[in-house]
Structure 1
Amino acid sequence: MSRLSKKNLLASLALMTFTSQLVAAQLALPTPPAAPSAVVQTSDPATQTLPSWTVTRSFEQLGRASDTLLLGINSSEQVEFSLRRDRIATDARLQLQYTPSPSLIPTVSHLRIYLNDVLAGVVPIEKDQLGRQTTQQVALDPRLIADFNRLRLEFVGHYTDICEDPANNTLWINISRASEITLQEQALSLKNDLAFFPLPFFDPRNSNKLVLPFVFADNPTLGEQKAAAILASYFGSQSNWRGAEFPVLFNTLPSVQSKEATQPSIVFATNDHRPAFLSDLEKYPAVQAPVVQLIDHPDAPYSKILLVMGRNEEDLATAAKALALGGQLLRGQRATIDKVQTLQPRKPYDAPAWMRTDRPVRFAELITYPQQLQVSGLQPRPITLDVNLPPDLFVWRNQGIPLRTQYRYTAPSANDDSRLNISLNDQFITSLPLLAKGTSSLEELRLAVLANDSANATDKLIVPSLKIGDRNRLRFDFNFASTVGSAQRDRCQTILPADTQAIIDEDSTIDLSGYHHYINMPDLKAFARSGFPFSRMADMSESIVVIPKQTTPTLVSTLLESVASISARTGYPAFALRLSDDWNSASKEDADLLLLGQLAPDLRDNPDMNLLLQRQHDMLVQPYNNSGIKESNRRGPNDVDNNQPANRVEVSAQAPIAAIMGMQSPHHNQRSIVALLGNDDADYSLIRETLGDSGKLNAVAGSVALIRNSGVYSQLVGDTYYVGSLPWWLLLWYQLSEHPVLLAALAVISILLTAFLLWRALRWAADRRLHKDE
């Protein structure tokens, strides 16, 4: 071979070796998932540091309130978690805490881990782990992480090498709720395109509390605060159970720790009233109509700013409504709002988050995700439905709420102990047998649990009304009894369990039509849990928020978070919200009032005043019975004697204190006032903390709730009143129900009067017949 050929051969071998090494290096690197169309790759990634976070969520935070027990016949469990659309996962790990049964055969028994239906790992159960809590880390492929993810654990357990019974009670492994999923999340650079709104300001895939700063010029006007409240209510209705926090800044953007930080924010500005960073009219010219624009933060390119601009305050409100109503029409970096028009006004009690009470409601209207009403397995998970009702629904001493249930299930091989258990708010209602017969057609269930304890398929199911509250959970438990195996000493026989299926049909209905609205007030629990009375109209069209003339960022944050919390209960933004800083005019309006700040002077002079918070002097009135708070919708019409003022306490102190107080409007008997009382920013911070803490919010009840650093103290003191209406005969019966002696006297009088009238009628008939005979 010539020298030239040898050189060419060596060069070719070297090139092939280099190419193979390069390909191997590329294959060794994890390939990130395809980025959304809104993502823009940086021009020089090597010169920029991308924002990155380590996010850890326990199984308890992901919805597993207790440990999970996997059995031989119930061997699978699934945990769901999500990832924001503007992020990708560069690393993922599972830290699994489990305790296996001490009777398992080691190594042969194991756990299979699936991520989005792809086998991610196998965890063998070793001998030294039996009966002991063990922690095991499993690496997950980040390329499998999408916006919504399912982590499935499958238990493969063996306790003997021959003739196993899958239902043997030694086959178990306990998965701790402290197990964790850790993601290394990396930010993606998004286009400034409104087509992706509400991203990046809110992402439903994010289960954390929404934190969204709002920016104003100094001393924002009423109109600016109203526009911000409308937009905050929209984000509150979207965040729902997550909660929402709206820090407010005047004349400055949120500070960022570095250029890689991400913190979206919203800025409100009119042509004549702008924050300082919008003062450059060449870069941000005056607008001629309501405008929304998406820009980058000047100090952090990964942080987005939404500019809500207008010629005046009315334009800001129009732009805020357009963002909440017409987000599907927005596109591009800048959009001009031409028109927002209300075509049909809202009706009372039509909040999307509440179940309708004017007709029977199908279960299909109550489900929140597909296949919610379907389960499988010998020990399937319970089927649950959330039923949210208006808190003023009058269910006193009625015959119950009809529940028409249709269901299908895999028929057992014999008439055994297979049952369907039904409960409401964790209180057992009834149990139905699952019979061994054909179930290809729908079966209608009708039971009378109030009339008798029998399960008669021709009766009608009645939900006990005294168990009904504003938030309810209806639960169906299918329990299948099956002889899976029949292994004996001289005979080995193993039967694989059947693939048992069960479903509650979507055409099942619950009917609350025909019930009246009537509630004993003040009832701060109704406000804390349902936003009542302001949530009666989902758009808050019959509500006025009264704020002080002099405002601060903390006070504006309190306003935004208060309105957002009400919209979170109704599921609808407060488009018709009215804002006022004039108590005299607002108090005369036929509307429910939400008061922020201090009480008006005319309310302080009220002889029934039970609380007064001032900067130098605080006053609280105590009732006779100070042992606790009664449920307002359980009280009779005369259970108020022990609530009358008995003692008055006056204190002077410097530490922060706030309060929530309910009372009747002095000008309208059917209207209420809820006051969020505070003197300074420290007091308002206590109110914000309470509104954002479900535990503290559940402690708010009665007519007064004092808020201190130690917690919330509630009491009911003073006179009560009623909101709503009842038919005269039902109202009379309700008022007399707490006066048995008077009721008995009226009954006796009625009987005597009826007997007298009957005697007079018979006497008149006899006299007429005698005169006729003459």
Structure 2
Amino acid sequence: MITRTYFRTLLTALLWAFSAAAFAEPSLDADSTPPSWNSSRSFSDLGRPRDQLLLGIRNAEQVEFRLRHDRIATAATLHLDYTPSPALIPVLSHLRVYLNDELMGTLPITQEQIGQRVRQELALDPRLLGDFNRVRIEFVGHYSDVCEDPAHSGLWLNLGRQSRVSLHEQALDVTGDLAWFPLPFFDERDTQQLNLPVVFTGTPTLGEQRAAGILSSYFGSLAAWRSATFPVLFDALPSTQDRPQPALVFATNDRRPSFLAEHPAADGPTVELIDHPQDRYSKLLLITGRNDDDLVVAATALALDRGQLRGNRVRLEQVEPPARKPYDAPNWIRTDRAVQLAELIDYPQQLQVSGLQPYPITLDVNLPPDLFVWRNQGIPLQTRYRYTPPVTTDESRLNISVNDQYISSIPLQGSDSRNSVENLRLTVLASDSTADSEKLLVPALKMGMRNKVRFEFNFASKLGNAQRDRCQTYLPTNIQAAIDEQSTIDLSGYHHYMAMPDLKAFSRSGFPFSRMADLSETLVLTSVQPDEAQVGTLLDTLALIGAHTGYPAFGVRITDNWSSAAQADADLLLLGPLPNELVNDASLPFLLDSPRSWLQHGAAGTDERSAGGKLGMSANGPLAAVVGQQSPFNAQRSLVALLASTPTDYGLLRDALTDSGKQEAFAGAVTLIRTSGVSSHVVGEPYYVGKLPWWLLLWFHLSAHPVLLAFLAAASVVLFAIVLWRALRWAAGRRLSDAG
């Protein structure tokens, strides 16, 4: 008898096969063997950074993984790493493993495994694998053969984050159709870092660098948390020995790589998808044109794709990206109106949970780093929620926290009322004061650039009772809970003002360049003859900013002439050797000229003993640096310099820019990158960017000088008393003159 589950699985397999067939074309050489390789993804790589504790009342855990559209898996194995509770009954306790809701097998917990760390392997059926896959592990635990309490503390199994899924993958011969773009150059199903080589004829011109920068920021916005890096090659193609490797190629009619010598000349901005000359499983995306302007137009069209691309060759006629406004980056929360939580979710049902002990609901809230929240009463958060009400009022609660800091706890009433609204204020004071809203005490909290708002439903329930000669067992109800998508968070009315330089803002949000999502107020200064490492650093940096904003850098400008920077009202991003004007500038906090390095001013940190001083040295080890300072041309603009000398130095710099862990160490005005890690220093005096009302500006800066503030307050009182005394004397004199 064919079950409904079997029919659904068969239908899914047919649909996946049809999709793969549409994306792949028949092999041109029946004797050629498609490249294949082994891959392994740990549960930590798949979004489970910590061990998971399976309980009697929360007994299931699942991980999701995807297959790229240009690959197929011919074999799959699940490697489990777990530790069962020593209180379990052997064999009666076991694990059930499902792949895409199909049972793959059971793993009994034997006497030898009780309380011990266990490593088991289980083969998965590769025929069930599709674009999106779920592996679900269910724990069936027993500690007694009669009268069990599902919430008993002895019912647990620790599922290690070292557990992994191993696949044997095989490449598909994909068709050359731009309708699938950005495939195969970027596939959202791939959770690995995006590594996309970029090929130029030789040292790229400024126009070629800008075109490549637009595309790198576009791919960076798609890669997001995966990060992206762009190895640069001059007149060479990447190796495809291990597995297929797509690449981007930039060429004009006068400047083209040698392997395109016989390729037809372009008659305008053109995008073309072709096979790699030595590997038909690898694709090359040709961005060609008559000149550099055509390359910029073609790159802009690709990054602005509105679903019109099709075929293997497209000639562009008109491209006009939309104008942007400050602070309107798609990845940042709106600050001009209240925002519904529906605008912040990443996938459907993100705001819904189920079970007696459901997992927390987590939302990412990214703020502009210069949002001025000093001494503000708080950020309004209106929370609407629904839940399965308990039979009686008990200790069931909804806990709300931000960045793992407790905010409030809302009791879940035992009634028929399923809809509730709570108005909270996420306090942004850096003091110990509290805020009271709707009879809720909210502790002080300072929100940063990246924030996680967590809603955690905690239900109290009497599941069972086991006493001598008396046994009661209750089955837990299917409890449902949800945060309503119409709940709002309101950041409107806030000013933009912050102290600079702040390299933490640069590494974590791309600020100040990301103030305009399209980087239309950014000027990049490069060397006259950049090498592969320097161009690759430029592309990686623009991809990093694109990942933070979620938008391509359509408006970025690139120059190799320092004097032109004086004429531009823009924030400056400098790569390569420092101009002589900056080298001779006494305010420059750090100088790197391999093998010499010079920290012009000591780090003014929290330890006063280490403040001040200078340090210069020569060494044979690699060193890179990121330096921030005020622009020498505009007090409201900033300069960020990415300093390195050798390819090894640039390798350190690029690794730090694409490593989320190392990005967290960026701070202050100078960040030094060595093989041992990243260190940051606060150097020199801060400057401020943004605007505040005069009275708030005065109050903010005086708050750092309490003695001066007290003196001004006393002087104001004395001055007011004198004015009042003179006014009263004038009034008294006038009354006497009238009486006379």
TM-score by length of 2: 0.94
Give the superposition deviation at 1:195. 0.6
* Map of 2:190 onto structure 1: 206
Matched ranges for 1:526-545 at <5 A: 526-545=505-524
Distance 2:436 2:215 in 1: 52
* Map of 2:7 onto structure 1: none
Matched, 1:379 2:357: yes
Q: 2:414 aligns with which of 427, 430, 436?
A: 436
Give the superposition deviation at 1:711. 1.8
Contact 2:434 2:442 in 1 (8 A): no
* Map of 2:624 onto structure 1: 658
Q: 2:584 aligns with which of 592, 605, 612?
A: 605
Letter of the structure 1 residue corresponding to residue 676 of structure 2: S
* Map of 1:487 onto structure 2: 466
Contact 1:197 1:327 in 2 (8 A): no
Matched, 1:39 2:24: yes
Q: 1:337 to 1:460 in 2, by over 3 A?
A: farther
Matched, 1:670 2:648: no
Distance 1:81 1:190 in 2: 21
Matched, 1:410 2:388: yes
| Percent identical | 58
Matched ranges for 1:64-83 at <5 A: 64-83=48-67
Letter of the structure 2 residue corresponding to residue 361 of structure 1: V
Structure 2 counterpart SS, 1:486: strand
Q: 1:479 to 1:248 in 2, by over 3 A?
A: same
Distance 2:720 2:268 in 1: 75
Distance 2:60 2:612 in 1: 60
CA RMSD of aligned residues (A): 2.2
Structure 2 counterpart SS, 1:493: strand
Distance 1:207 1:54 in 2: 16
Matched, 1:692 2:658: yes
Give the superposition deviation at 1:205. 0.4
Letter of the structure 2 residue corresponding to residue 603 of structure 1: L
Matched, 1:721 2:687: yes
Distance 1:503 1:617 in 2: 59
Letter of the structure 2 residue corresponding to residue 617 of structure 1: R
Distance 1:454 1:286 in 2: 69
Matched, 1:305 2:284: yes
Give the superposition deviation at 1:44. 5.9
* Map of 2:252 onto structure 1: 270
Give the superposition deviation at 1:448. 8.6
Distance 2:419 2:599 in 1: 64
Give the superposition deviation at 1:431. 1.3
Matched ranges for 1:251-270 at <5 A: 251-257=235-241, 261-270=243-252
Q: 2:101 aligns with which of 117, 124, 127?
A: 117
Matched ranges for 1:456-475 at <5 A: 458-459=438-439, 464=444, 466-475=445-454
* Map of 1:743 onto structure 2: 709
Structure 1 counterpart SS, 2:307: helix
Q: 1:136 to 1:550 in 2, by over 3 A?
A: same
Give the superposition deviation at 1:623. 2.5
Distance 1:292 1:132 in 2: 58
Give the superposition deviation at 1:624. 6.5
Contact 1:80 1:148 in 2 (8 A): yes
Q: 1:325 to 1:448 in 2, by over 3 A?
A: closer
Q: 1:726 to 1:54 in 2, by over 3 A?
A: same
Letter of the structure 2 residue corresponding to residue 509 of structure 1: T
Matched, 1:324 2:303: yes
Distance 1:591 1:133 in 2: 58
Letter of the structure 1 residue corresponding to residue 645 of structure 2: N
Matched ranges for 1:350-429 at <5 A: 350-429=328-407
Distance 1:727 1:657 in 2: 43
Letter of the structure 2 residue corresponding to residue 431 of structure 1: S
Q: 1:499 to 1:269 in 2, by over 3 A?
A: same
Q: 1:555 to 1:43 in 2, by over 3 A?
A: closer
Letter of the structure 2 residue corresponding to residue 656 of structure 1: P
Contact 1:624 1:643 in 2 (8 A): no
Question: Which of 1 and 2 has greater Rg?
Answer: 1
Q: Could you list the per-position Cα deviations for residues 684-704 of structure 1 after superposition, in whole angstroms to 9, with x for gaps in the alignment?
A: 222111111222222121111
Contact 1:264 1:305 in 2 (8 A): yes
Give the superposition deviation at 1:42. 2.2
Q: 1:202 to 1:168 in 2, by over 3 A?
A: same
Give the superposition deviation at 1:487. 2.5
Structure 2 counterpart SS, 1:772: helix
Structure 2 counterpart SS, 1:269: strand
Distance 1:503 1:224 in 2: 50
Of 518-527 and 643-652, deviating more is 643-652
Q: 1:689 to 1:44 in 2, by over 3 A?
A: closer
Matched, 1:141 2:125: yes
Structure 1 counterpart SS, 2:362: strand
Letter of the structure 2 residue corresponding to residue 385 of structure 1: L
Distance 2:698 2:497 in 1: 14
Give the superposition deviation at 1:67. 1.1
Matched, 1:548 2:504: no
Q: 1:616 to 1:53 in 2, by over 3 A?
A: closer
Q: Could you list the per-position Cα deviations for residues 607-636 of structure 1 after superposition, in whole angstroms to 9, with x for gaps in the alignment?
A: 2222111135322134374457xxxxxxxx
Distance 2:141 2:376 in 1: 52
Q: 1:43 to 1:712 in 2, by over 3 A?
A: closer
Q: 1:162 aligns with which of 146, 150, 153?
A: 146
Matched, 1:153 2:134: no
Letter of the structure 2 residue corresponding to residue 588 of structure 1: Q
* Map of 1:233 onto structure 2: 217
Q: 1:461 to 1:303 in 2, by over 3 A?
A: farther
Contact 1:212 1:247 in 2 (8 A): yes
Letter of the structure 2 residue corresponding to residue 411 of structure 1: P
Q: 1:596 to 1:447 in 2, by over 3 A?
A: closer
Distance 2:175 2:355 in 1: 46
Q: 1:773 to 1:644 in 2, by over 3 A?
A: farther
Q: Could you list the per-position Cα deviations for residues 373-421 of structure 1 after superposition, in whole angstroms to 9, with x for gaps in the alignment?
A: 1111111101111011111111111111111111111111222111111
Give the superposition deviation at 1:643. 11
Distance 2:609 2:669 in 1: 10
Letter of the structure 2 residue corresponding to residue 346 of structure 1: R
Structure 1 counterpart SS, 2:613: strand
Structure 1 counterpart SS, 2:22: coil
How many residues are aligned here? Answer: 725
Give the superposition deviation at 1:463. 8.0
Q: 1:643 to 1:205 in 2, by over 3 A?
A: farther
Contact 2:381 2:426 in 1 (8 A): no
Distance 2:399 2:586 in 1: 53
Structure 2 counterpart SS, 1:384: strand
Extract unaligned runs of 5+ from structure 1.
1-26, 629-641
Q: 1:766 aligns with which of 722, 732, 735?
A: 732
Structure 1 counterpart SS, 2:467: coil
Of 240-249 and 746-755, deviating more is 746-755
Extract unaligned runs of 5+ from structure 2.
1-9
Q: Could you list the per-position Cα deviations for residues 288-318 of structure 1 after superposition, in whole angstroms to 9, with x for gaps in the alignment?
A: 1111111111111101011111011010000
Letter of the structure 1 residue corresponding to residue 438 of structure 2: T
Of 533-542 and 674-683, deviating more is 674-683
Give the superposition deviation at 1:222. 0.8
Q: Could you list the per-position Cα deviations for residues 39-65 of structure 1 after superposition, in whole angstroms to 9, with x for gaps in the alignment?
A: 1232664x2211112111111111111
Q: 1:126 aligns with which of 110, 132, 147?
A: 110
Give the superposition deviation at 1:547. 0.2
Distance 2:502 2:643 in 1: 16
Distance 2:309 2:670 in 1: 45
* Map of 1:477 onto structure 2: 456
